[in-house]
Amino acid sequence: MSNEQRDKKPGFSEKTRFLEQLTGLTVYPRSVTQADGTTFFLARGPQGKVLGILGDTTGFERNSQFAIRNSSFLCLLTPINAATLRDRLPWLRPVPLGLRTSAGFGDRLGLATPGHVRAVRGTGIAPIFAQQSVRENARTGRTPQQVMDEAMWGMFQEGWREPWGADADHLKTFADADTFAAAGYTFYTVDPGDHVDNAAHTASLDGLQDKLRAMPWADLEDSPDDLHTRYMDRCFEMETFTLEFDETTLLRAACKYGHAILHAARMYRHLVATLGDRPPSTGSGHAFELEVSVDETETPTSPLEHFFITSELRRLEVQWVSLAPRYVGRFEKGVDYIGDLDEFEAEFARHAAIARVLGPYKLSLHSGSDKFSIYPTIARHTRGLTHLKTAGTSYLEALRTIARVDPTLFRRILAYTIERYPKDRATYHVSAVLTNVSAPETLSDDDLPVLLDQFDARQVLHVTFGSALDRFGDRMLAPLWEHEEVYYTILESHFKHHLSSFTESRGRE
């Protein structure tokens, strides 16, 4: 980048110019921050990114590769230095976000946050910049602390000072929750899907009665008689419609979701016990927020089942900020919504009304990336009570970047993912057909980025991310590092497209 180009970057100032002359490095203009008489900044040099400090360096870790250069202290982006910087600049710590319209930005490579910041800046949407599931951490070889720190460095680079969150995504065990709690996460997505009895969805009334008798009533602090008293022969008003249970629908909801509700309550109580000694956030009463996710089930969550789940969570005194039902239609990875749009809108309008009446709480959209055809419907019916969760789409845009700047590497990745797809797709609900994906040798360099817009190729590349990272890891990071501005620009455009429907909806409120 030329001096003239640098001078035109947002936030570039005489202070930035001075720091570059002092260190001989390229300084990220928006990172330059003064606090209590000390100047902090992020810079880029031949050996990577470093933290620069002019002033009080107490608590920061010195590294033999770097010394004090012309009165500036330079240090590596280590966990100790990340923690110390968070102590010195409190806005680099995540906080609960409440009921604000929010969006989660998963980042499987640890490089995408600057692009996410640029996309969300000025929208009024509350961001969750650190977000990764236990499964994704296992496949990428990252830890919750690494995800947190890499998101923080990206925010620092871009000068983000507004509230932000960190999502411990799809938690199933106490041990998983503890790892994220130790790293300072503030948003906990509890996934009780393993405890959903999918067989109850089609069981006969006799079968449901057998299941009901076997329910853990003492743990649920309930009884079959009390259950019937709460729900039978009653009419529940939900704004423009009513909900009523009969014997079969009540037993089906109780048997299908009873164990899952109990697991969610246990996870919540564990988090309260673990995090309860931290200062409470304004409004929530806790230092964390809970999301309950029942989206990874075999059948959609009906409005009646949604009502039952939330009513029972309230009875068990669980506090949550968002809920992710399984909606009608198909929410496949990396592609638009698949299903009848009119049916989706009719069902979703009911879910949104239930969330207002029994909450308010936000409706969360999992596997939410690239669902452009339904974003306007979601924004309209939730009236801002929405959480959009994205993950793999940032990885796909990294591949688009690689396709532009290193076609040879992209061809190798594509060929390998085609080979891996039959095995890697096993843990995903996807529809991609390999015969619809062009062989890499048949495509020109100009055709490669466009492949990321093709349904089948996009899904094949999406679900094989773990295998691709195992094989190509560092080789994939190198062109993204070298051409970081290309990647940030692609991400910014991609996510502005995602957020536009929700931003427009906020403007109409």
Determine if the peptide bond prior to 360 is cis (ω within 30°). yes
Return the DSSP state at 184: T
Beta-carbon neighbour count of residue 182 at 10 Å? 12
Can 291 be counted among the known catalytic residues?
yes
Can 169 be counted among the known catalytic residues?
yes
Q: Residue 421, SS3?
A: helix
In our burial notation (b when 16+ CB lie closer than 10 A, e otherwise), range 123-158 reads bebbbbbbbbbbebbebbebbbbbbbbbbbbbbbbb
- Measured between alpha carbons, how far is 68 from 80 in angstroms, rounded to an integer? 18
- Measured between alpha carbons, how far is 14 from 7 in angstroms, rounded to an integer? 9
Task: Please return the burial class of 38, using the count of CB atoms within 10 Å of its CB with bins 0-12, 13-18 and 19+.
Answer: middle
- Measured between alpha carbons, how far is 211 from 84 in angstroms, rounded to an integer? 53
| Token pair for 422 | 């039959």
Q: How far is CA 374 from CA 133, 199, 284, 439, in A?
A: 24, 30, 30, 32
Q: Are strands 126-133 and 102-105 parallel, antiparallel or unpaired?
A: parallel
Residue 388 CB contacts under 8 Å (≥ 6 apart), including other chains: 102, 103, 104, 364, 365, 368, 498, 499, 502
Residue 360: which region, alpha, beta or left (left: phi > 0; alpha: psi -120 to 50)?
beta
Question: Which is nearest to 400 in space by CA: 390, 410, 412?
Answer: 410
Is 467 within 8 Å of 417 (Cβ atoms)? Answer: yes
Q: Cα angle vertex 493, ends 492, 497, to 5°?
A: 115
Is 311 within 8 Å of 254 (Cβ atoms)? Answer: no
Catalytically annotated residue among 167, 169, 191, 305 = 169
Catalytically annotated residue among 291, 305, 347, 456 = 291
Distance in angstroms between the alpha carbons of the first and the last residue of the chain: 42
The string of DSSP codes covering 444-470 is: -GGGTGGGGGSHHHHHHHHHTHHHHHH
> Catalytic residue numbers?
169, 291
